[in-house]
Amino acid sequence: MKNLVSEKFAVNSLLLIIGLFIIFHILILIEVVPFNIVWGGRLKNQSQMISFELVSILINFIMFFVVGIQAKWLKFRIKKTILKVAFWLMFGIFALNTLGNLASENSFEKAFFTPITVLLAFFSLRLALIKN
């Protein structure tokens, strides 16, 4: 896998895409982007949207933080094993998210976000497989 994509490329790609996702979810939260194009088109009301979007933003910030540590942007002493577990969890989240996107009732979500979450899963897997 390390011959397919470098660690640096995986890290930079994750930081870029997750950063863009944070901005995207903030735009949904402030109603610039309609919430019917996310969460499989299954959100029923604004209250539900706020709850889901706040959780999504929090999870994305945590993932951005973890990748930022791997990139050495953030100077936190965290054991490599904890980072490895975090990247495996991210891989799992993005893999499940890909399945959710494929099952979406919204064709835009299915067509646009499915390939992105596949890439995010791939980049997370690349970082999970780093040897300590």
Which pLDDT value is given to residue 109? 87
- Domain extent listing, the chain: 7-128
- How many Cα atoms within 13 Å fall on the side-chain side of residue 75? 0
pLDDT tens-digit map of 38-59? 888 888 999 999 999 999 999 9
**CB 102, CB 53: distance < 8 Å:** no
Mean pLDDT of 78-97: 95
Higher confidence at residue 76 or residue 69? 69
DSSP structure string for 57-97: HHHHHHHHHHHHHHTTSS-----HHHHHHHHHHHHHHHHHH
Which pLDDT value is given to residue 40? 82
Which pLDDT value is given to residue 70? 95
Q: Which of these ranges, 47-51, 60-64, 107-111, 122-126, has the smallest mean pLDDT?
A: 107-111
Which pLDDT value is given to residue 132? 66
**Residue 101, pLDDT above cutoff 70:** yes
Region of residue 6 (left: phi > 0; alpha: psi -120 to 50; beta: else): beta
Higher confidence at residue 131 or residue 126? 126
Which band of pLDDT confidence, cut at 50, 70 and 90, is reported for residue 105? confident
Which pLDDT value is given to residue 95? 97
Please state, in angstroms and rounded to a whole number, the distance separating the CA atoms of residues 71 and 79: 14
User: What helix, strand, coil percent values describe the chain, rounded to 5?
Assistant: 75, 0, 25
Please state, in angstroms and rounded to a whole number, the distance separating the CA atoms of residues 103 and 117: 13
